[in-house]
Amino acid sequence: MNSKITKENMFFLSNIFFYLFVYTKQFYIMRSGTFQIADLFFMISLMMLLIGLLKENGKSKVLKILFSKNNIVFVIFVFFVFVINIINYCVYKDIHLLLSAIYFLYNIAAIITFRCLAENSSFLTNVYYVLRVNVFSQFVFLVVGIGKYRFEHRWCGTFNDPNQFAFFLMCCLFISFYIAEINGRHLKSELLDWLIGIVLLVLSKSTGITAGFLAFIFCFAVYMFISRGRNKTMRLHIVAIIIAVLAVLIIGVTFIVKQQLNSGDSYNLVTRLIEKIKLVMNGGVKSILADRGMDKLWIEPLNILYGAGDGAFSRYADYTTAILEIHCTPIGLLYSYGIIPFGILCYWVYLNIKKLPGIAYVIYISLFAECMFLVNYRQPFFWIIIVLGSIWQTKRAKEGEQFK
């Protein structure tokens, strides 16, 4: 009896600390890339989960979870990540190569923890509410003046970087929307979250996240018209929602532009978008690729075959226009780890997102559009969005339902 109580207590505590991890992920107290308070809560959640699993069935349960098909493929990919980064570390002596490998170890733990805890039906619902609280919290922080601007004109909230802030915001909206669909809820209850999210997005002036949001609005509209467009009332609701979202976006941009013109600051989301367009017009596609650090693709193309490792970017200093990591998630992973590990990762993604209803692909297409401009693979929320697909597959399989 005591053993059973202990096991249940461990699972309960694991849930609680994971919720704290999700909420405190928005608080960057230390320098980016270092240990934050959210990481402490996650480590405690993981430890409680492991103790609970060991109390339940001993080591066999832990090994069964680790070597399940949905997990082992990612583990194999991360094995290659360690091998490639360690080899490159021996050559270039850059500690960031080792840190990049550790980030993936962290993400494996996050993926497995999330997948295990999601077996409890109430877990996803509670995560859903925590994510919504996150969005409202950031809005409250903006109103009361908690947070900061970077470069004096890009709102970061409680983050160190505006792109971090915007990506976190997007993940909160995407994951809560996804969980709502898994639980059979619909967009109405989250509409206010999205309107607040758009206002905050405009303030962050993140062009990459803007691409993800616009892709979502477009794909969602297309999906709704195809799946539910026969109903005239539903069509009107869809149009009304899209108009409301676009109106908030336009009003928000107009307000910020006017405010900044009055203060002598003309730098806003519109000017950032215009900058990117001019970059393409003046220098062609190569110029925008170089701006994202992708000039390495034609400078050292052989790295696509065997992987350059993720770090030691100073090695490109003599012949690249941008001494930085590739700001494109899929291309960055391909260049850093080579074609075979990248193929293994693509197979893992396929396992997680295959045979899902159309609404799930609205999220995935939007995420893909966004990650073409930013580096997301160090963030656990990025992988959690992918893992939600296999969780939905499992849930529907247990219920004996088929996707339409």
Domain ranges of the chain: 115-399
Residue 392, CB-side half-sphere exposure with 13 Å CA sphere: 27
What residues form DSSP beta bridges with 149?
Answer: 155
> Phi, psi at residue 71, to the nearest 5°?
-100, -40
| Contacts for 80 with CB less than 8 Å, ≥ 6 apart | 307, 337, 338, 340, 341, 344
What percent of the chain clears pLDDT 90, i.e. is strictly above it? Answer: 42
pLDDT on residue 232: 62
Within 10 Å of residue 85's Cβ, how many Cβ atoms? 27
- Distance separating alpha carbons of residues 116 and 390, to the nearest angstrom: 12
pLDDT tens-place string over residues 88-118: 999 998 899 999 999 999 999 999 999 999 9
Residues of the chain with pLDDT under 70: 1-5, 58-61, 151-152, 186-189, 228-239, 241-242, 244-292, 318-323, 401-404
Count of residues making up the chain: 404
Q: Name the burial class of residue 281, with classes exposed (0-12), middle (13-18) and buried (19+) by CB atoms within 10 angstroms of its CB.
A: exposed
pTM of the model: 0.86
* Confidence (pLDDT) at 399: 75
The three-state secondary structure class of 223 is helix
CA dist 113 → 6, 19, 43, 333 (Å): 18, 12, 10, 23
